[in-house]
Structure 1
Amino acid sequence: MKILEDSLRMNSVYYVGPLSETVFSKLLTKYPRLNQADIVDKVTNLTNRVPRELVRLSDAIEDKEDPITNEILEDCASTRSNSFYIVVWEYFLGLHEVSKHKFYKALLKAFLGNTSIADFEWDFVDLGLIYRIKGDLNSTMNRILCPPVQKALLKAFMDMPLTKDIMDRVNLGNISGQEFEQALLIQFITSNKPIVPTATDIVNANPTSIHWTSNIVRLSDFQTNRSAKAKE
């Protein structure tokens, strides 16, 4: 708790990222209203075991009546996501055009769980919406902090002119090969429904439907680094 209190000081900088399951469970005991058996999994998922998000969630339920339900937690997470969206969108609007394109591509890679240390500028990293972990071969990877942040980034991504322009050209059938790849990734990222293109054999005969499904948008599948837990 002393660390959490110190982290509010303007002259202090602390690593923002998920705790190990064991450490987070111990921290959660300090928040008995959130440490109930029927909601603890939801609390863990929404906060992604990030101390700052646990503190904010505790503040958000302060005026709520007991028992705290999963529905209440979802409402709090939605409010938190909206506040993150404002931060992301203001950041995006403040960029010049070249930086907007770079940020757009960095977000696309982040949703796919395939970012490197160079993909996001430091001023975005300093917003506390992503954290960094060590990847393979001692590389540094970016990860989205928690589900409310992921939802905010996804909404901002879909509101960006580049996304809308690509999807409009898909509908018109006027799109380059690289843009087609981006459009396909956008569909994977934003759709919970299977993508069903029609394929043919090598002589363009025997058409058949191919069902593609993706779990990319589920933060638990790719954002949380389960194998690289903090040392206790």
Structure 2
Amino acid sequence: MQGPGTMTGMAVPSTSTLTVGFDLDMTLIDSRPGIKAAYVELSARTGTPIDAELAITRLGPPLEQELAHWFPDERIQEMGDLYRSLYPEFAIPPTLAMRGAREAIAAVRRVGGRAIVVTAKHEPNAELHLSHLGIEADAVIGWLWAEAKAEALREYGASVYVGDHTGDVRGARTAEALSVAVATGPCAVEELREAGADVVLDDLTAFPAWLEGHTAA
């Protein structure tokens, strides 16, 4: 985990309201082009070789885990701070919305629910991504990875959590929320199922129909 989760000053919704949590990277957004650009710039600034193409195949865990492949332990905090300072300029503009991302959020609202984003990403940068792409969440909670995501999911009374990584599955299960996995990130369908995902979808374009059936049931 990169640091303590924060609730962005928003009121925590009633647990009687359907609340669906979403992961960010490779679930709602395809951040690979932007993150690659940020790593290329970090490499140029520090003179340290970084295989940016390899790094973007491992999205999901906290930044520090990736930096540990390229920098000694004593420099990871410094490099993390530098990377995050570069991120708004280099990573936000090239990042794209995943197919079905806006429609998935709209589907939650259509059934009277709230959509929150729970991510391991630095929270201000997560908010910049959503604002740049016009994806409106009811709350954004950053700095939480894997089982730690259960903090926010429980706090907001989320009964469903949607993510692309086995860490997201673990977070949902820790929070006793339904784990809906999308096979759009680094984890294959069978890997997500073996991790305990309750539902596995090819991508978010299938989510509105699934949610309609879920709420009807």
Q: Which has the higher strand share?
A: 2
- Please give the TM-score of this superposition, normalised by the length of structure 2: 0.29
Higher helix share: 1
Greater RCO (Cα-Cα under 8 Å, separation 6 or more): 2
TM-score (norm 1): 0.28
Higher radius of gyration, 1 or 2 = 1
